[in-house]
Amino acid sequence: MNLSFFDQFSSPTFLGIPLILISMTFPALLLPSPGNRWITSRLSTLQLWFINLITKQLMTPIHNKGHKWALILTSLMIFLLLINLLGLLPYTFTPTTQLSMNLALAFPLWLATLLTGLRNQPSASLGHLLPEGTPTPLIPALIMIETTSLLIRPLALGVRLTANLTAGHLLIQLISTATMALSSTMPAVSMLALLVLLLLTILEVAVAMIQAYVFVLLLSLYLQENI
C-alpha cells in the first residue's frame, strides 16, 4: 500500500519509452503562437498581460545589467507554473516532483549567476565569503561556512520545489483514498474528508503557483548579488 502512493511519481512509459519529455513540452502548446497581428483574441491579450506582469515583478528589483536575463527567468517562471498546475489534474504526471529535473534546472542557472559575478566583479563576489569585521581567529571557519552555504544553493532550490509538490500530491492521494474508503461505512466522515480534500486542492493550486515564483525569485536574487 505504501508503494502504491509513490507510483504517481514514477515517470510514465509507453513501450519502454519514457514520456517525461512529452509532459515537459506540453505546456508550450498552451502559449500563444506568433501571428501577423499583435492581438488575436482576448485569451492572447490576457496571456500577454500576465507575462508582462511576471516580467515586471521579477525585473524591478534587479539592476539594469541583469535585465538581459528577463527572457530566461520569465520563460522559466511560466514553464514551472504551467507544469505545476497541469500536474494537479487527474491522471497526469508532474515532472517537477523529480529531484533530478529540478536540479537540472537549478544548477546551470545558479552556476551562470556565479560565473557572471566572478567575471564582472571578482573582488565583490569573493568578498561575500567573508563578512566585514570578522575576528581573525574566525576567518577560516566563516569562509568554510559561507562557501558551503553558497554551494548548497542549487540543492536547496531543487529540494524545496520537489518536497513541497511531493508532499501536496501525497496528501491529496491519502485524503482522496480515505474519502472513497469511508463513503460506504461512514458517509458523514466521508463528506467531511471530501470538504478537506477540496480545501487542500485549493491550497495546492496556491502552492504550485508560489513555488514556481519562489524558485525564479531566488535565482533573480542570486543574480542581483553578482551584478
* Cβ count near 217 (within 10 Å): 16
* Cβ count near 163 (within 10 Å): 14
Tell me the Ramachandran region of residue 40: left when phi exceeds 0, alpha when psi lies from -120 to 50, beta otherwise: alpha
Give the three cell numbers for residue 143: 569562509
Alpha helix ranges (H) inside the chain: 2-5, 20-25, 42-59, 70-86, 99-120, 122-127, 139-151, 153-182, 187-225
Q: Would you say 61 and 220 are in contact if contact means Cβ atoms under 8 Å apart? A: yes
What are 28-52's pLDDT values in tens digits? 777 666 666 666 677 777 878 888 8
Spatial separation of the C-alpha atoms in residues 103 and 110, rounded to whole Å: 10
Question: Which strand (E) or helix (H) includes residue 14?
Answer: strand 13-14
Instruction: Determine the pLDDT at residue 1.
Output: 44
Instruction: Determine the pLDDT at residue 34.
Output: 62
Instruction: Determine the pLDDT at residue 130.
Output: 77
Spatial separation of the C-alpha atoms in residues 210 and 204, rounded to whole Å: 10
Instruction: Determine the pLDDT at residue 4.
Output: 63
For 183-216, letters b (16+ CB in 10 Å) and e give eeeeeeebeebbeebeebeeebeebbeebbbebb
Spatial separation of the C-alpha atoms in residues 222 and 227, rounded to whole Å: 9
Q: What is the pLDDT along the chain (227 residues), one digit of tens a residue?
A: 445 666 666 666 766 666 667 767 777 777 666 666 666 677 777 878 888 888 888 888 888 888 888 889 988 988 899 888 888 887 777 888 888 889 999 999 999 998 988 888 877 777 777 777 777 787 788 888 888 888 899 999 999 999 999 888 888 888 888 888 888 888 888 899 889 989 999 999 999 999 999 999 999 988 888 88
Spatial separation of the C-alpha atoms in residues 70 and 63, rounded to whole Å: 11
Instruction: Determine the pLDDT at residue 37.
Output: 67
Spatial separation of the C-alpha atoms in residues 9 and 17, rounded to whole Å: 16
Give the three cell numbers for residue 186: 461512514
Instruction: Determine the pLDDT at residue 35.
Output: 64
